[in-house]
Structure 1
Amino acid sequence: MIKSNAASVEFRGVTKVYPGSKLAAVDNVSILVERGKLVTLLGPSGCGKTTTLRMIAGLEFVTSGNIVIGGIDVTTLPATERDVSMVFQSYALFPHMTVRENVEYGLKFSGFPKKEIGERGMAGLSLVGLQDYGARLPSQLSGGQQQRVAVARALVLEPQVLLFDEPLSNLDAKLRRQVREDIRDLQVKLGLTVVYVTHDQEEALAVSDRIIVMNNAVVAQEGTPRDLYDAPANAFVADFIGEANLLECEVTMVKDGEASVRLGPVNLTMSARGRSPGPARLAIRPDRIELVKSSTKNTLPATLTKVTYVGKHLECVAETEVGPFFAICNDVDAPFKPGDKIGLDFPGRGPVLIKD
């Protein structure tokens, strides 16, 4: 039986500068991954997320700051002395070994008795639904099955922290959805502490308890998936987590934490989020814009320039006096076509004030 030894992970002012570089790969980052939670490091290539993951694993050492796992400072400990397992993007399975031998490989080198190695190996395969595949070679498995073998090999070591480095990037879209659900189910079932790296926003929203968005070596924002989608802190997060229309507006009044906002001819009310009266910026999600057949009071007049049917919804582009809009219409039978004069309506939880 595989059990959880989950522990928290904390970065305290961690900076990483590679030799010969003048720029920090990770710059004064302080984060906390709570015990038994799945936290995703999300961001574009070069933002520092993989370097952060590798520092947790001990595959890279910090330039300054401290890393604490389970209350113990592991900053100077090598990878072999950290109770951490990593699942790589490439699976890293030995092609000449059977599935079961791959799963048991780490246990053999950790000095476990032969009987316990066998028991843990079978328990690991059972956890990922591959108990009948132990005698096969990796080449006889699908990509999704190979990824599950890699997960089982990490789980049997019962690590304090399980790390995933872009684990689904080699899978097709349908398999990615299935495997990410498998990973999340296992994490919840076993109460594992998981740090998960991806550049895929949908994947991060689907699996995470919390998301840490990184950009240019620093943390741009962290919070629950809903926090980041509904209330992005700045233009980068708004545009990176899903899509967003970013627009100039005017905050005309702030009272009791509520802001009155003018967007062209439209007056809106929303959370002030610490903003004062004056020029500001709005983020509006494409799926939180309602298209109406004709402009009415307090809707933004618009002209449709493009309407694309993509199966489950219509993707619409419209021109307005405050700039272009991208909107999603869930009614695929809506009678919209390019050239139509319409109105854009914004439900209460649609527009959000952001920082520049």
Structure 2
Amino acid sequence: MNNKAASVSFHNVTKVYGKDVVAVDNIDLVIEPGKLVTLLGPSGCGKTTTLRMIAGLEMATKGKISIGGTDVTRLPATDRDVSMVFQSYALFPHMTVIENVSYGLRFSGHPKGEIRGTALDGLGLVGLADFADRLPSELSGGQQQRVAVARALVLKPQVLLFDEPLSNLDAKLRRQVREEIREIQQNLGLTVVYVTHDQEEALAVSDTIVVMRNAAIAQIGTPRELYDAPADRFVADFIGEANLVDCIIKSVDGGMAEVDVAGYSYRLASRGLGVGSETMAVRPSRIVLNRTASDDGLAVTVTKATYVGSRMEYTLSTPVGQLFATLDDVYDAIEVGQQVTMQFADKGPVLLPD
């Protein structure tokens, strides 16, 4: 299946509904060809509206949208070389799997004699060639979602769009299907724009994540960049959960800051900040708990201990407020009410710029 992946760019794009409901507020964004970029954020942040403007299902109020270097701002959806995979699958229940996958080909000028072969190729890409003559009702939810992906793929779009594609699947299927989507995208070199509110899903599939908040872009970066160096409190808490801890920067030297957390000293990158009161983000997995009392750390009390299978989750009462920690050791759990020493891992905590 030939790939003609294209870039997508937004320049000062705004979308307003009615007189004053701003859904997307003056955003600039460049999506490189052949990359999977996820729009991530809470409900109402503008991510789905942004996706629909790429598809041509919504028109920008202001600004310019380009696909493959061509201005498509005013083009209807039918004139844009994009395909969209919806949350609801949107399969025709009375049509077989291959008829569903062939549907778009029949209306796109594809040679009639090649339609079935092309549709079978598409089903082969998602591992469903043997299911061609079944009805959607005879498939699992994960299989139906893969049919929807095949239907989009056979049109060989410049850009493939996914709108919350896994939200109707259970946890195990979500993991399986997201891996399949990522594998297909990488194997075919597709440009994919993917919308989700699930931060773990975004971290798992993306080359780049665009975190959105209040109709604007909060931060753009790779999954690791966003996890390890969030731009602010919102991104820190939204990507991977974080404890926000008040601290005092006592000194800065060579880009490294010496911070004080209720008497516990810790050294980390200053991120351009100077001496004074600041906030640091600490991932739950980057908290170290030691049963032995030590001056190098904070004395804290375990107020809640929860076993979740692969790890223990602890709620801690500390001099800097209630914190949340996770430990992999599920066999030697710390009991509720026990006092332990809390330290931060060598890597992980990060100062949050203003």
TM-score by length of 2: 0.98
The aligned residue for residue 115 of structure 2 is 117
The yes-or-no answer on 1:175 pairing with 2:173 is yes
- Give the AA of the match of 2:16: V
Give the secondary-structure state (helix, strand or coil) at the position aligned to 1:287.
helix
* Corresponding residue for residue 93 of structure 1: 91
> Which residue in the other structure is 1:62 paired with?
60
In the alignment, what sits opposite 1:242? 240
Matched residue SS, 1:297: coil
In structure 2, what is the equivalent of residue 149 of structure 1? 147
Deviation at 1:294? 2.7
- What letter corresponds to residue 84 of structure 1 in structure 2? V
Aligned counterpart in structure 1 of residue 33 of structure 2, from 32, 35, 45: 35
In structure 1, the partner of 2:42 is 44
Q: Which residue of 2 aligns with 1:76?
A: 74
Deviation at 1:288, TM superposition (A): 0.6
Find the aligned partners of 1:98 and 1:243 in 2 and give their Cα distance.
Answer: 43
Q: CA RMSD in A?
A: 1.0
Task: Specify the alignment match of 1:11 in structure 2.
Answer: 10
Q: Could you tell me how far apart the structure 2 residues matched to 1:205 and 1:295 are?
A: 36
Q: How does 1:278-297 map to 2 (within 5 A)?
A: 278-297=276-295
Aligned-residue offset at 1:115? 1.6
Identity of aligned residues (%): 63
Q: Using the TM superposition, give the Cα deviation of residue 174 of structure 1 relative to its aligned residue in structure 2, in angstroms.
A: 0.7
Q: Deviations over 1:181-205 (max 9, x none)?
A: 1100000000000000000111001
> Which stretch shifts more, 9-18 or 292-301?
292-301
1:219 and 1:295 map into 2 onto residues whose CA distance is 44
* Offset, 1:112: 1.2
* Corresponding residue number in structure 1 for 2:202: 204
- Residue 126 of structure 1: which of 118, 124, 127 is its match? 124
Q: For each residue in 1:283-319, what CA deviation from the matched residue of structure 2 results, as whole angstroms up to 9, or x when unmatched? A: 0000011100033122111011111111111111111
Deviation of 1:338 (Å): 1.1
How many residue pairs get aligned? The number is: 354
TM-score (norm 1): 0.98
CA distance in 2, matches of 1:335, 1:354: 32
Superposed displacement of residue 257, structure 1? 1.1
**Which residue identity is paired with 1:139?**
S
- Following TM superposition, by how much is the alpha carbon of 1:355 offset from its aligned partner in structure 2, in angstroms? 3.2
Structure 2 CA distance for aligned equivalents of residues 187 and 48 of structure 1: 24
Structure 2 gaps, min length 5: none
Note the alpha carbon deviations across 1:70-102, whole angstroms, 9 max, x for none.
Answer: 111111111111100000000011111111011
Give the Å deviation of 1:280.
Answer: 0.4
CA drift of 1:335 comes to 4.4
2:340 to 339, 342, 352: 342
Shift of 1:23: 3.3
- Are the aligned partners of 2:212 and 2:218 in contact in 1 as well (CA < 8 Å)? yes
**What residue is the counterpart of 1:353 in the other structure?**
351
Separation of aligned partners in 1, 2:63 and 2:273: 33
The answer as to whether partners of 1:265 and 1:298 remain within 8 angstroms in 2 is no
User: Structure 1, unaligned stretches of length 5 or more?
Assistant: none
| Cα contact 2:247–2:259 (8 A) shared by 1 | yes
Give me the whole-angstrom Cα distance separating, in 1, the residues matched to 2:222 and 2:210: 9
2:253: which partner in 1? 255
